[in-house]
Homo-oligomer: A and B are copies of this chain.
């Protein structure tokens, strides 16, 4: 009986010790976070930073210099060869219902797309909703036309990311598939749940298609897509004209930015916190993924503020080229494997700077069941949604049999209002919501640092 009591008190006091430290972490994140001022700089002084651009290089140098101030053992640049795609001058598009009767609509070239002829590309339009619609329509209906993919994201999914995942095949694969049936261009409804006037860019792939066979592809705003669809119903032979001068330049050298603080007790066990430094060029990349960059940078700032010295090795990795290549992620993995590094836990923030609701995890069942015991530490902050499935695009390749990968899961409802558009800017960031993300990540990292993988 006595023994049990002692054990009980011991357990209680341990448990409340963690409660106390996590409370300190959140207090600190809401009062001494640097995330908001860093993101202000990254968004407003550097701005959009597509891989290979001067802005990307500035972001690399700036983030290294900020990390240098935080007391890491080492901050370095890991060379990565990245693709360099440039948008060129602002794109132009119009619907022509009769000669001289036209409506301008907002478009943005999809990342990786080839240019149209310099006078623009003008053709009839065929509207489809699925990649397999191409099969049923066949070459006779598609040849020589612009294919207009117009399936909206389904508003019934609670996670806007799920709705995105179920719609984005049109953007990623539409051009590659449509060209098989003789299409000469592709227009894709923007990936957002809103009706608005902002085209949402994003990557496409042409697969192995030779350069000469590639057709230009652009996103059209949802209001523009609805207009085009409605006009097609009463005027199926209308013409669509669009002009873009985007092109793929030769690959260039760029960098992942890495900061490391060696663990005081278990230096060979690495905990990685990451986001991606590159962004699309249309806006400032504040939510995608400036938020993840500053969440990651904030980790040691918060630990320093509460005088917490990690037992395990902490690595901050700001990946390059998430948006159009994933080369930063590949390079990091390649070097890690060569060095036989042991990442026991990695977390990525790449779902925006909105109010965090919890985390998603990729790990084995045993680990996940143990993780569920930690939900209680996050309950006071209403950040205790712990679900299986998914971490982040950059860290997913670090999966091992026993380790844990995680993604911060903020409220997703507004994310696709901004995603890959000119309005993904600093004014769309709420300071407290951003800071709670820093607190959530630092708290989970603290627990992994305390307990390791059991």
A200 to B433, CA, bound (A): 21
Give bound CA distance, A381 to B156, whole Å. 11
| Of A38-46, A388-396, A410-418, the one touching chain B | A410-418
Shortest A202–chain B CB gap in Å is 20
**Does A232 touch B at the CB level, under 8 Å?**
no
- Which residues does chain B contribute within 8 Å of A382, judged by CB atoms? 158, 357-358, 385
Residues of B within 8 A of A430 (CB): 413-414, 417
Contact A156 B431 (CB under 8 A): no
The B-contacting residues of A in range 353-388, CB under 8 angstroms, are 355, 357-358, 380-382, 385
**Are the C-beta atoms of B381 and A158 separated by less than 8 Å?**
yes
Assess whether B155 is in contact with A432, with CB atoms less than 8 Å apart: yes
Contact flags A122-160 to B (C-beta < 8 A → 1, else 0): 000000000000000000000000000000000110101
In whole angstroms, what is the CA distance A432 to B155 when docked?
8
Is A194 part of the binding interface, using a Cβ–Cβ cutoff of 8 Å?
A: yes
Contacts of A193 in B (CB 8 A): 432
Cα(A30)–Cα(B385), bound, Å:
21
Q: Does A436 have its Cβ within 8 Å of any Cβ on chain B? A: yes
A27: Cβ under 8 A from any B Cβ:
yes
Could you tell me the distance between the alpha carbons of A27 and B355 in the complex, rounded to whole angstroms? 23
Q: Is the CB of A158 within 8 A of B413?
A: no
**Contacting residues, chain B, for A27 (C-beta < 8 A):** 156
A413 and B385 in contact, given A26-B158, A156-B30, A380-B158 (Cβ under 8 angstroms): no
Tell me how far the C-beta of A397 lies from the nearest C-beta in chain B, rounded to whole angstroms: 28
Residues facing B in A1-36 (CB within 8 A) are: 26-27, 30-31
- A194-B411 in contact given A31-B156, A158-B382, A380-B158 (Cβ < 8 Å): no
Contacts of A357 in B (CB 8 A): 357, 382
Q: Is the CB of B31 within 8 A of A413?
A: no
> Which B residues touch A194, using CB under 8 A?
431
Q: How long is the Cα–Cα vector from A151 to B303 in the complex, in angstroms?
A: 28
Cβ of A411: which chain B residues have Cβ within 8 Å of it?
A: 355, 411, 433
Task: Please state if A31 and B385 are interface contacts (CB–CB under 8 Å).
Answer: no
Which residues of B have CB within 8 Å of A385? Answer: 382
Please provide the chain A residues from 393 to 444 with a CB less than 8 Å away from any CB of chain B in the complex: 411, 413-414, 417, 430-433, 436
Q: A417 → chain B, closest Cβ, in Å?
A: 7
Q: Whole-angstrom distance between the alpha carbons of A380 and B158 in the complex?
A: 8
Given the complex, which residues of B lie within 8 Å of A155, measured CB to CB?
30-31, 432
Q: Give A431 to B413 CA distance when docked, in angstroms.
A: 9
Minimum CB distance partner of A155 in chain B: B30
Q: Once the chains are docked, how many angstroms separate the CA of A436 from the CA of B159? A: 12
Interface string of A181-194 (1 = CB under 8 A from B): 00000000000011
Chain B residue at minimal CB-CB distance from A28: B156
In this complex, what residue of B is CB-closest to A417? Answer: B430
With A and B bound together, what is the CA distance between A216 and B158 in angstroms?
48
Give min CB distance, A31 to chain B, whole Å.
6
Within 8 A of B (CB), among A251-278: none
Taking a contact as CB atoms under 8 Å apart, the answer to whether A355 and B433 are in contact is no
B residues within 8 A CB of A380? 158
Give min CB distance, A262 to chain B, whole Å. 31
A254 to chain B, nearest CB (A): 35
How far is it, in angstroms, between the C-alpha of A26 and the C-alpha of B380 when the chains are bound?
26
For the complex, give the distance between the alpha carbons of A414 and B355 in Å. Answer: 10
Least distance between A54 CB and chain B CB atoms (Å): 33
A432 touches which one: B355, B413, B436 (CB < 8 A)? B413
Known contacts A27-B156, A413-B433, A414-B432; 12 further A-B pairs (Cβ under 8 A): A26-B156, A31-B156, A158-B380, A158-B381, A160-B432, A194-B431, A355-B355, A355-B413, A411-B411, A411-B433, A413-B430, A413-B432
User: 4 nearest interchain CB pairs?
Assistant: A413-B432, A30-B155, A27-B156, A355-B411
Query: Could you show 20 A-B contacts with beta carbons less than 8 Å apart?
Result: A26-B156, A30-B155, A31-B155, A31-B156, A158-B381, A158-B382, A160-B432, A355-B411, A355-B413, A357-B357, A357-B382, A358-B382, A382-B385, A411-B433, A413-B432, A413-B433, A413-B436, A414-B430, A414-B432, A414-B433
